[in-house]
C-alpha cells in the first residue's frame, strides 16, 4: 500500500531477555519456546513464540500465541498468580481472552475466544504459566532458578525446587508490576477515536465462553 509505514517498535525494559520465560519446545527438544510481555497501544500483551517447526505460516500466526489484555485485567492476573503462589499445590486458574477475528478479511460478528491464559502450581509445588490456543502447541513455562544462580537454605542445604520456584514467581510478579506501571505512563499513546462498544458496560460485546481446559495436559 502506497504511503504505508510500519510502526516503530520502541525498545523498553520488557525486551530484557532475562525476564522472559523459556521452556523446551514440546515438538523438538533442541529448540526453546519463549514467553514475553509487551506493551502495545497502551495495553499489556503476552506473546508466546512456540518455535515449533510444525507451527508456522499465516494460519498459525507465524508461531505466535497472543493474549491481548487491558491494564486492569493484567493486574488482576498478576494478583491471581500471587494467590496461586501462596495457595495449595495442584491448583490452577485461568482467564479467557476474546477478540474479533477476520476470516477472509471480514470481521467476525462478535468477539471469539482466541486464547486462554493459565497460571498454576503443580502437585510438587512448582509454579507455572501457560498460554494456549485451539490447535496450537501447549507449552508449560515454569518459574525457577537459571544455570548461574543456586539458592541454599540457612543450614547450607540446597533449597527445594518448590521453594525456589515460588520465590522466583513472586519476584516475577513484582518485576512486572513495577515495569508495566512505569511503561503505561511513559509510553502512553493517545488512542484513535472509535465508536462506543456495544454490549455490557465493560469489555465490549457479550460473548459465549468455551474454554480449552480439555486440551491442557498438566
The percent of residues in the chain predicted with pLDDT above 70, rounded, is 86
Query: Pick the residue with more confidence: 9 or 55?
Result: 55
Mean pLDDT value of segment 11-31:
94
Domains of the chain in start order, with CATH, are 20-185 (2.30.31)
Residue in the structure block whose three cell numbers are 500465541: 65
Burial of 11 by CB count in 10 Å (0-12 exposed, 13-18 middle, 19+ buried)? exposed
Question: What's the sign of the alpha-carbon dihedral 21, 51, 37, 77?
Answer: negative
Average pLDDT value over all residues in the chain:
89
Tell me what pLDDT residue 65 has: 97
Express each pLDDT in 189-217 by its tens digit. Answer: 998 887 655 544 444 545 555 555 556 78
Tell me what pLDDT residue 201 has: 46
Q: How many helices (H) and strands (E) does the chain have?
A: 2, 8
Question: What's the sign of the alpha-carbon dihedral 107, 109, 110, 113?
Answer: negative
- pLDDT range class, residue 103, cuts 50, 70, 90: confident
Distances (CA, A) of 193 to 94, 104, 120, 190, 208: 31, 26, 38, 9, 27
Mean pLDDT value of segment 96-102:
94
Mean pLDDT value of segment 23-42:
95
Tell me what pLDDT residue 99 has: 93
Which of 3-7, 8-12, 22-26, 151-155 is the least confident region? 3-7
Cβ(42)–Cβ(155) below 8 Å: no
pLDDT at 4 over 50: no
Express each pLDDT in 145-178 by its tens digit. Answer: 999 999 999 999 999 999 999 999 999 999 999 9
For 81, the enclosing helix (H) or strand (E) is helix 71-86
pLDDT at 1 over 90: no
Mean pLDDT value of segment 71-79:
98
The percent of residues in the chain predicted with pLDDT above 90, rounded, is 78
Tell me what pLDDT residue 104 has: 85
How many Å apart are CA 206 and CA 171, to the nearest integer? Answer: 35
pLDDT at 57 over 60: yes
Tell me what pLDDT residue 194 has: 74
Q: Is the pTM of this model over 0.85?
A: yes
Distances (CA, A) of 63 to 11, 24, 52, 56, 199: 21, 15, 7, 5, 32
Tell me what pLDDT residue 10 has: 78
Mean pLDDT value of segment 56-80:
95
Amino acid at each position: 500500500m502506497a504511503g504505508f509505514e510500519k510502526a516503530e517498535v520502541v525498545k523498553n525494559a520488557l525486551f530484557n531477555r532475562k525476564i522472559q520465560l523459556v521452556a523446551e519446545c514440546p515438538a523438538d527438544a533442541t529448540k526453546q519456546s519463549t514467553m514475553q510481555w509487551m506493551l502495545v497501544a497502551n495495553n499489556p500483551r503476552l506473546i508466546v513464540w512456540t518455535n515449533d517447526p510444525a507451527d508456522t505460516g499465516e494460519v498459525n500466526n507465524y508461531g505466535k500465541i497472543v493474549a491481548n489484555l487491558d491494564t486492569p485485567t493484567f493486574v488482576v492476573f498478576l494478583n491471581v498468580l500471587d494467590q496461586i503462589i501462596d495457595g495449595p499445590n495442584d491448583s490452577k486458574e485461568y482467564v479467557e481472552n476474546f477478540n474479533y477475528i477476520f476470516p477472509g478479511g471480514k470481521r467476525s460478528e462478535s468477539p471469539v475466544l482466541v486464547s486462554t491464559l493459565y497460571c498454576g502450581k503443580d502437585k510438587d509445588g512448582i509454579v507455572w504459566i501457560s498460554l494456549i490456543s485451539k490447535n496450537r502447541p501447549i507449552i508449560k513455562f515454569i518459574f525457577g532458578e537459571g544455570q548461574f544462580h543456586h539458592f541454599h537454605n540457612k543450614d547450607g542445604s540446597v533449597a527445594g525446587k518448590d521453594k525456589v520456584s515460588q520465590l522466583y514467581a513472586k519476584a516475577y510478579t513484582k518485576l512486572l508490576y513495577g515495569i508495566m506501571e512505569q511503561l503505561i505512563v511513559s509510553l502512553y499513546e493517545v488512542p484513535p477515536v472509535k465508536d462506543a462498544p456495544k454490549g455490557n458496560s465493560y469489555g465490549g460485546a457479550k460473548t459465549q465462553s468455551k474454554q480449552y481446559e480439555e486440551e491442557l495436559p498438566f
